Chain A
């Protein structure tokens, strides 16, 4: 017994343990800390973890509204991948929709931000008004676009037919939401319109954080305007760009409102995205299992994007200005 360290001897010598100190002995001294975490953990489990695993369960079951469900393995995934042509179309639609939306949002957002940075007169007015598409409720503004693009009442068709110089070309009328290609272009356009303020404001903030004296130094070094943009603005903006591209890609891949209001996935399913198609399956057709399988298909893609972009951000935010 000589080798027993002092601490253990002290424990052994203490009076009979209460339940509390029994817990403490078993889980370590941080038992109180876990207690404080509990409310947050309950909220996380009930609002995030439970619905997520419920969806996962649905996707590997034969769940149908109002009927008991049982486990069917990967049958749903195999079905939508092999026998559901609309789903294959949906994958393609979603990639197309997200790619072009994000590309245009980045390019136009960057352009507008660079312009807005240089506008000094009525600065607040312009910067404020840029935010309008962002702050107005999506369902409402999309209804407005629906009216603008409607084959019968389309403002664009009216303008093409009745105002100079468009009258010279004899364009239109176009069935913007009735033709598969035009419909896809239209929903992409409205998504860009809606998402661009977020890009402009974020990029503008990024631009403002680049110190002016770097441009002075580059000017002395002999950099042209384009070179300054390429060698200073872009590299120093990269962390900001990566973050907004990440967010925007996630939101765009999961877009629902615009599609649902404008086309409901039509015409001929040409604008269905994961979310709208999953809604059609799960809610409209009561095939909850297939709906869940469609929606979950997005998950691994999102994980890959997040990992990739976060790596890029971490590599690039290591310089101070």
Chain B
């Protein structure tokens, strides 16, 4: 069993607070993605779990054992680095077996494990090559092979795909997912790419400025962000934000965006939104929840008309940019239903997916 528990974890570099008191429970065999912009403390957190950075304050437990002062080699973890960190003077085989050799594993056992890992990763023919004779994707596999042969309790990935080109990245992403399904272990995966996090992880941890903004499944992150940061960070293209006011209207509540545009709030949110009546708030809605006008029966689906400013065809959908007040927002329509630039177009907005954000606390209410 290898659950990982982080308790009130801090990291200072001189005056810089890189990680500021984070708490996190990672379950056995769970795939966790730490995601956030650069400098948010995600890599520092990972390196503290690995033992490559000292812990300023707090506790890290792996499998019921506090490992704060345990040296990296005794933590039973393996790590895949961003630039692979393959030893350039060793062959692929030597790279993969180095850790086992240091642990005095018998030779035939090393041989067996390296072959097995090479089979999983499809690098059986490359074992005698040097790293510089490999392509980026192959190096990536070797780096993962080096981790797999150790059969560790915990896998740590530090932005493993960011040095690959876009196509290879998507390919390796699937590969990593498959490997995790075969080699069941706890995985902590650091990335700045929210798509990677969404596609790979059982749960996502969004970090920002050294703290955890939110922890949840990819669906929770997407459907129910708890902060302005998470709402804007998760999702591509990202969520639209518009200044708004909550108004009482016909016994319900309405969200007023401009003098002549307001939408009735979903009826079930009356209690949540009523304390904010009259205050300046932020209205958040994802592009896919404003589409070309469609027949609908749901009370939360509402229609409006606006002029098209820019069209961005994406193939399966077309992004339609429109102006609401002074803000440009993105909407998503079927390619054949859009109007020309400058022409008015009818839209349907799904208010059930709206988010109301308090701009002072930056929390979703």
Contacts and interface: CB of A to CB of B under 8 A. Distances in A.
Chains A and B form a bound pair: yes
Q: Chain A interface secondary structure, helix, strand, loop or mixed?
A: helix
Given A222-B99, A320-B132, A213 B89 contact: no
A231 B131 CA distance: 16
A222 B85 contact: no
A211 B83 contact: yes
Nearest to A238: B89
A214 interface: yes
Contacts of B146: 217, 221
B87 A220 contact: no
A64 to B, nearest CB: 56
B88 interface: yes
B81 interface: yes
A261 B86 CA distance: 51
Interface string B61-92: 00000000000111001110111011111000
B166 interface: no
Interface in B139-155: 146
Nearest to B50: A220
Contact of B88 (A216, A219, A320): A320
B130 interface: yes
B102 A220 contact: no
B103 interface: yes
B98 interface: yes
Contacts of A216: 50, 52, 79, 81, 85
A319 B50 contact: no
Given A216-B52, A232-B87, A236-B88, A222 B103 contact: yes
A236 B132 CA distance: 14
B132 A220 contact: no
A51 interface: no
B73 A220 contact: yes
Which of B74, B77, B89 has its CB near the most chain A CB atoms (within 10 A)? B89
A236 B130 CA distance: 14
A134 B202 CA distance: 61
A318 B132 CA distance: 9
B52 A222 contact: no
A217 B89 contact: no
Interface in A199-238: 211, 213-214, 216-223, 227, 231-232, 235-236
Contacts of B86: 217
A321 interface: yes
A214 to B, nearest CB: 6
B132 A319 contact: yes
A211 B85 contact: yes
A156 to B, nearest CB: 44
Given A235-B89, A319-B132, A320-B88, A221 B99 contact: yes
Given A223-B102, A231-B98, A217 B79 contact: yes
Contacts of A318: 130, 132
A222 B147 CA distance: 12
Which of B73, B82, B103 has its CB near the most chain A CB atoms (within 10 A)? B73
B88 A321 contact: yes
Contacts of A231: 87, 98
A220 B78 contact: yes
Given A221-B102, A318-B130, 13 more contacts: A211-B83, A211-B85, A213-B81, A214-B87, A217-B81, A219-B72, A220-B79, A222-B74, A222-B102, A319-B88, A319-B89, A319-B132, A320-B132
21 contacts: A211-B83, A213-B82, A213-B83, A216-B50, A216-B79, A217-B81, A217-B85, A217-B146, A218-B98, A219-B51, A220-B73, A220-B78, A221-B98, A221-B146, A222-B73, A222-B99, A222-B103, A223-B102, A231-B98, A232-B87, A235-B89
Q: Top 5 nearest A-B pairs by Cβ distance?
A: A222-B73, A221-B99, A319-B88, A217-B85, A213-B85
Interface of A: 211, 213-214, 216-223, 227, 231-232, 235-236, 318-321
Interface of B: 50-52, 72-74, 77-79, 81-83, 85-89, 98-99, 102-103, 130-132, 146
